[in-house]
Structure 1
Amino acid sequence: MNKNRVILSIKGLEKSFHLRKILDEIQLDIKFGERIGLVGYNGSGKTTLANLILGKEVQDRGHIEKSPDLKIGYLSQSIDYEVNDFQESLKICEVFQLASELGLKKVQNWQDERLEHLSGGEKLKLALSSIWASKPDLLILDEPTNHLDLKGVNWLISEIEKFPGSVLIISHDRHFLDQTVNRIFELEAGKLQFYQGNYSEYRKEKERKIANQKHQYEVQQRQIERVEEQMDQLKSWSDKAHRTSTKEEGFKEYHRVKAKKRDAQIKSKMKRLQSELGKNKVDKPLEEATVQFEFDSCGKRGKRIIEAKNLSMAFKGRYLFRNSQFYINYGERIGLLGENGCGKTTLIKIFMGLVSRTDGELWKSDSLRIAYLSQDVADLPVEKTAIEALGLTDRDHIFKARTMLANLGLKEQFITKPIGTLSLGERTRVKLVDMLLKDYDVLILDEPTNHLDLPSREQLEKTLSEFTGTIITVSHDYYFLNKLCNRLLVFEDQQIKRFEMGPEEFFNKENKKDEGDQKEILMVIENKIAAVLGELALIDRQDPKYPLLDKEFNELLKQKRNLIG
């Protein structure tokens, strides 16, 4: 298919909800094979735009034109899939293979009862496998990495790279966007802006544009001030001339003419100013959201706060981890790494005292005050408002909570609504504020950036880096984890192992180890090749051993080529 062929075109698209215009005069083209990231604040209309493309919503104005027979594969953000969503797809052989690559073993044998108790990660992996197996022309992925482990994220990156069609990705995962897209669509205040490059390149270009617009705006404001000062001076002189024309006998006509001249000059300057603004007005750049977090850690405590000896945890006869030894010191930033289902969230629940270990010892300082942010935002009372859910009655605390919620992007109209009407990102903000209002010295965060938009993620990173207490976090946001964590607890081979390094160093270590293993294997192969060549040189072609050695030689050459790529 022609790479320059437009497969989807949108012209003059508008959509409003409750008198608020979400999308305003949207124009865009998507060409075959393009890799596009759609970014913007929570509530800016990204998912609405996707639903309009899919025909799930109807636009107020404008046109959406699609290529004939365009097949769209859509991954929903909510992952609100039911058993019957997977029953048909699990009859397709290719779905088993794709699910297996994502770590779901023997999925073809799963019964309805097993499908009814899928985790968020398992639902997402099955949905991705089904979408991929349908062989779409256009992929629309709404927050596809929210429940994927790093293995799953890397699989998705490689599949997108191989995918021949077009991809539109709605995501707040900066690492994922950097690896997958080469064009950014940004939705802001109902308008769509276009940027070339991945997420990092988009951020640099946007910052440059904002700085340039701010400079032009300030220059124009100074020009307006100068003209307005001149008009004020002329008006002052005109008023004086008008007053004098009524008092000085013999000079009335002179002062009247003078006053009219000043009035004409004022009108002329006003007209020129309005004309200039009409042609070249520079708008003040929209201020990017500044999200304020105020952590207040109490005084430093004893150095070691958690220690595990021979810690084991089994679930329905299957061990998640066993005989694990590790410790956590005060002030450390600990990242938990491992595939989905390895027991990361279970370990957090053990720390919190929410579940009991199967075996071993876990010592925890009695004086610890722990704040816990779970990845589940469905446990808030849906009928209550944000303030009611926080359980606040003191006037000062209510004022502080309102300020925090506003700083997090939850304005008054959202604070007074029932939580059931809020988005997942808005509910996460309510839970964050609940943490902020308490004193603590340990933060346990389970996927804290899920459902947060990019400005909130970046501000959260900045603030957590200034927090003096201990942080224990599970996250599939590689940027977030790498920026924050300086120690790791890694789940592998049914054990939890402590590493004195951050994620980037850990993964580079693994790559270096693989490189070392490859060099060793290559050396063995080259020694075997040399030995076979030595034998071939000593025998005749008619020798019965010759074809066997020749076959071995060719097989060794093939292994060498595969190894060095």
Structure 2
Amino acid sequence: MTIMKIRGIQKSFNEKQILQNAEIDIKQDSRIGLVGNNGAGKTTLANIIYGSIFPDKGIIDTFNSSVNIGYLKQSTEYSIHDFEDTYSLAENGLFQLSSQLGLNKDIDWADPDWSRLSGGEKLKISLASVWASRPELLILDEPTNHLDLQGVEWLIEELNTFKGAVVIISHDRYFLDRTVAEIIEIEDGSTKLFKGDYSSYRQEKERLYEIQLHQYEIQQKHKQQIEQQLANLKNWSEKAHRDSTKQGSASERRQIGYKEYHRVKAKKMDNQIKSKMKRLNQELEKNEVRAPMEEAKVRFEFQESRKRGKRILEARELSKSFGSRCLFEESHFYMNHGERMALLGPNGSGKTTLIKILLGEETATSGDVWASETIRIGYLSQDVSDLPLDKTALEYTGLTDRESIGRARTIFANIGLSEEKLTVPISTLSLGERTRVKLVMMLLAEIDLLILDEPTNHLDLASRESLEKTLLNFQGSIITVSHDVYFQEKISNKLLFIENGKISRKEYGMKEFNNQNASPIADSKEKEEQLMVLQNEINALIGRLSFMAKGEPGYEQLDKDLTELLKKKRDLS
């Protein structure tokens, strides 16, 4: 049963059109993942569905005027007082839900100390309050940002048993694969529906790209052939026109009909050229295949790290308490140059506090941390609200000389921030764009140790994948806190675990921790040969499909074979 039908939604801000034709059907049991690049209009569409902003054009039909919508906003920068009647929510299970999410603190709901809560704890209370309102339609905007593994798993289980409809905006590939049954992509202001989870969506996008590219190349070759024929006809026509005006010798001039013959020949060729050009234009107008749009290429480039000794930091008998609450005590761990450590622990266990101690922003209750005297540390916090909102991105860099500004502009372009984004106040940028501004500040420095607190929060999928590749090539050391399971599995080769009040070092990465060891591939040469064979088979199938209409005998089987080959290629890559 459809509970909401959205048609022809358009929305502009400051003369910039964000949405131009957004369409969604939300059914009673829908599980929709809303994806798109930063700034594509996902949060704008969510606000329109929720009713907090109105579209410029379009209609939203609700088949039940009293649909109760629960909306989890993207940012946790609101206070506990933003929740309406917490005691009423408590009767609907707010406290119980908070506990199930792993929030075991005693909170004075009448006057809570909101500043003492971590980003994850704030999000858990926000999520619990949305859930306690008993919604029929859930809109979750980046719900896994700041959530620990326990919170993510709880949310996945709850969504699987939730009876209402769910619209999820997320760049968390693991989470989307576990929760959604269809993907709606926003691109150039329009929506497109893909059935299946996120991995199926990526498969289908790749398949459609390959088919469109193949058809476009065939059309371009045909166009070049026609244009070559036209060029030849034009040359012959010009020659015929020249011959028709030749004076020639006395005997040639006596030949009756010489000029007339060439005039007729030239006119005939002119007509052929016009006819062929008209047919070509009609064919292109009717069956034009546009060049497929390549996904945005985002490049993160760190300056090469300076050479370091083996050990770069070490904690000895480290303890930290706030009043009677002990986060960790008598803990010892170390880090060597070039290691990539995933910092794990439940929300509130002290991950952010430990980072502040490593940065020198917080003092330990007892014990100490030794760090190499010459080490340079870069820190990306999970909070993007500390940026100077009235400044532009270029002003925020603090650079004044032309060479440095030129390099900064190049990095901004590589990271996906256009020139127009650099000259407007940071307050006008999306959260993902603000995260990129922070990353640029790190890219401009010569860093030995990167400390990344939820680095993929607010980043779109292309940026996440690009950041992963860059970090794998980074020669320095990395400590990451992230809810993104795929990201942690790719990046980490060591773990730093906060559990039961102790910090311990583990000699394996997140992938081993999750028992998800990938099968090894023999060697690069064999892999290249396998990829080449697969690509040839893919090209052959695409060629056959491009000359068939959907529904023809054999089309479905060829399409299934192509999907399987593309999956094999992706797995091998």
Same-fold status (TM-score > 0.5): yes
Distance in structure 1 (CA, Å) of the matches to 2:192 and 2:393: 33
Q: How far 1:108 sits from its partner (Å)?
A: 5.9
> Matched residue pairs, number?
505
Distance in structure 2 (CA, Å) of the matches to 1:67 and 1:108: 39
Instruction: From 403, 410, 418, give the equivalent of 1:411.
Output: 418
Matched, 1:339 2:346: yes
Where 1:160 maps in the other structure, the secondary structure is helix
Q: Percent identity?
A: 58
Matched AA of 1:227: I
Bigger drift between 385-394 and 249-258 goes to: 249-258
Task: In structure 1, list runs of 5 or more residues that go unmatched.
Answer: 510-565
Bigger drift between 296-305 and 266-275 goes to: 296-305
Q: Which residue of 2 aligns with 1:269?
A: 276
Distance in structure 2 (CA, Å) of the matches to 1:58 and 1:86: 23
Q: In the TM superposition, what are the counterparts of 1:117-196 in structure 2 within 5 Å?
A: 117-196=116-195
Tell me if structure 2 keeps the 8 A contact 1:90–1:108.
no
Distance in structure 2 (CA, Å) of the matches to 1:458 and 1:486: 18
Q: Which residue of 1 aligns with 2:7?
A: 11
Instruction: From 34, 44, 48, give the equivalent of 2:44.
Output: 48
- Cα deviations by residue, 1:97-146 (Å, 9 ceiling, x for unpaired): 10111122355633324246543322221221121112211111010011
Where 1:48 maps in the other structure, the secondary structure is helix
Q: How far 1:507 sits from its partner (Å)?
A: 3.9
Distance in structure 2 (CA, Å) of the matches to 1:23 and 1:263: 47
Q: Which residue of 1 aligns with 2:80?
A: 83
Q: Which residue of 2 aligns with 1:310?
A: 317
Tell me if structure 2 keeps the 8 A contact 1:447–1:474.
yes
Q: Which residue of 2 aligns with 1:72?
A: 69
Tell me if structure 2 keeps the 8 A contact 1:96–1:108.
no
Matched AA of 1:313: K
Distance in structure 2 (CA, Å) of the matches to 1:381 and 1:81: 18
Determine which structure has more spread, i.e. the larger CA radius of gyration: 1
Q: How far 1:415 sits from its partner (Å)?
A: 0.6
Where 1:109 maps in the other structure, the secondary structure is coil
Bigger drift between 105-114 and 202-211 goes to: 105-114
Matched AA of 1:89: T
Distance in structure 1 (CA, Å) of the matches to 2:297 and 2:506: 34
Distance in structure 2 (CA, Å) of the matches to 1:113 and 1:27: 41
Q: Which residue of 2 aligns with 1:209?
A: 208
TM-score (norm 1): 0.86
TM-score (norm 2): 0.85
Relative to structure 1, the CA distance from residue 116 to residue 319 in structure 2 (aligned partners, 3 Å threshold; closer, same or farther) is closer
Q: How far 1:363 sits from its partner (Å)?
A: 1.3
Distance in structure 2 (CA, Å) of the matches to 1:455 and 1:116: 33
Tell me if structure 2 keeps the 8 A contact 1:373–1:444.
yes
- Cα deviations by residue, 1:210-263 (Å, 9 ceiling, x for unpaired): 111111111111111111121122222222323333334553322222222112
Where 1:383 maps in the other structure, the secondary structure is coil
Q: In the TM superposition, what are the counterparts of 1:211-250 in structure 2 within 5 Å?
A: 211-248=210-247, 250=257
Relative to structure 1, the CA distance from residue 299 to residue 81 in structure 2 (aligned partners, 3 Å threshold; closer, same or farther) is closer
Distance in structure 2 (CA, Å) of the matches to 1:304 and 1:6: 60
Tell me if structure 2 keeps the 8 A contact 1:83–1:116.
no
Bigger drift between 207-216 and 450-459 goes to: 207-216
Instruction: From 452, 458, 482, give the equivalent of 1:451.
Output: 458
Tell me if structure 2 keeps the 8 A contact 1:461–1:484.
yes
Q: Which residue of 2 aligns with 1:467?
A: 474
Bigger drift between 458-467 and 346-355 goes to: 346-355
Q: Which residue of 1 aligns with 2:360?
A: 353
Instruction: From 373, 396, 400, give the equivalent of 2:403.
Output: 396
Distance in structure 2 (CA, Å) of the matches to 1:208 and 1:463: 26
Higher relative contact order (CA 8 A, sep 6+): 2
Where 2:104 maps in the other structure, the secondary structure is coil
Tell me if structure 1 keeps the 8 A contact 2:490–2:511.
no
Distance in structure 1 (CA, Å) of the matches to 2:97 and 2:118: 18
Relative to structure 1, the CA distance from residue 288 to residue 236 in structure 2 (aligned partners, 3 Å threshold; closer, same or farther) is same
Where 1:428 maps in the other structure, the secondary structure is helix
Matched AA of 1:19: E
Distance in structure 2 (CA, Å) of the matches to 1:385 and 1:114: 33
Instruction: From 390, 409, 427, give the equivalent of 1:420.
Output: 427
Distance in structure 2 (CA, Å) of the matches to 1:125 and 1:43: 26
Distance in structure 1 (CA, Å) of the matches to 2:41 and 2:388: 26
Distance in structure 2 (CA, Å) of the matches to 1:188 and 1:124: 29
Tell me if structure 1 keeps the 8 A contact 2:390–2:425.
yes
Where 1:176 maps in the other structure, the secondary structure is helix
Task: In structure 2, list runs of 5 or more residues that go unmatched.
Answer: 248-252, 517-573
Distance in structure 1 (CA, Å) of the matches to 2:109 and 2:69: 27
Where 2:83 maps in the other structure, the secondary structure is helix
Relative to structure 1, the CA distance from residue 186 to residue 40 in structure 2 (aligned partners, 3 Å threshold; closer, same or farther) is same
Matched AA of 1:406: A
Bigger drift between 288-297 and 239-248 goes to: 239-248
Tell me if structure 1 keeps the 8 A contact 2:320–2:366.
yes
Tell me if structure 2 keeps the 8 A contact 1:304–1:329.
yes
Bigger drift between 255-264 and 34-43 goes to: 255-264
Query: What is the RMSD of the two structures over their aligned residues, measured on CA atoms?
Result: 1.7
Where 2:60 maps in the other structure, the secondary structure is strand
Q: How far 1:400 sits from its partner (Å)?
A: 1.4
